[in-house]
């Protein structure tokens, strides 16, 4: 399979929306799209094209690797809403509960014990819910 042509904003947006849905799930993306206002429309387009259509499309790392990095970075920066979102995404990208716990444990050394402690508190209920959903 050849790499998609991402030479236009429209192509990056289309590829980004596809990847965004695959990683975050249709329900999440549908809510984000439905909640888009004229005030947030430019930002939604930007993250779809740039984050999902450019960065997440790059061949240098797998989605699984990108999830590991994203969890670590959001813990270190204490971006808890994004961390919660990407716990779900990490599961969609093949990470196990044990691997997510290892990311959090590892972050304690580099991002601090309080951040890791809070990350466990955020991730636990999400992973419980995902296990119940099957």
CATH superfamily name and code, 61-134: AhpD-like (1.20.1290.10)
- What is the pTM assigned to this prediction? 0.89
Return the closest-CA partner of residue 123 out of 13, 37, 105: 105
Residue for token digits 């991730």?
A: 123
The count of other CB atoms within 10 Å of the CB of residue 49 is 21
Q: Cα angle at 23 between 58 and 71, to 5 degrees?
A: 80
Q: How confident is the prediction along the chain (134 residues), in pLDDT tens digits per residue?
A: 456 677 898 999 999 999 999 999 999 999 999 999 999 999 999 999 999 999 999 999 999 999 999 999 999 999 999 999 999 999 999 999 999 999 999 999 999 999 999 999 999 999 999 999 98
* Region(s) of the chain under CATH 1.20.1290.10: 61-134
């Amino acid at each position: 399979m050849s790499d998609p042509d991402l030479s236009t904003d429209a192509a990056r947006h289309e590829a980004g929306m596809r990847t965004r849905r695959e990683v975050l799930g249709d329900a999440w993306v549908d809510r984000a799209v439905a909640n888009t206002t004229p005030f947030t429309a430019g930002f939604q387009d930007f993250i779809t094209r740039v984050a999902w259509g450019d960065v997440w499309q790059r061949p240098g790392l797998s989605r699984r690797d990108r999830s590991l990095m994203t969890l670590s970075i959001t813990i270190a920066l204490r971006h808890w809403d994004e961390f919660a979102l990407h716990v779900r995404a990490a599961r969609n990208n093949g990470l196990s509960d044990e691997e997510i716990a290892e990311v959090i444990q590892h972050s304690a050394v580099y991002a601090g014990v309080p951040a890791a402690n809070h990350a466990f508190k955020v991730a636990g209920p999400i992973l419980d819910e995902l296990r119940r959903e099957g």
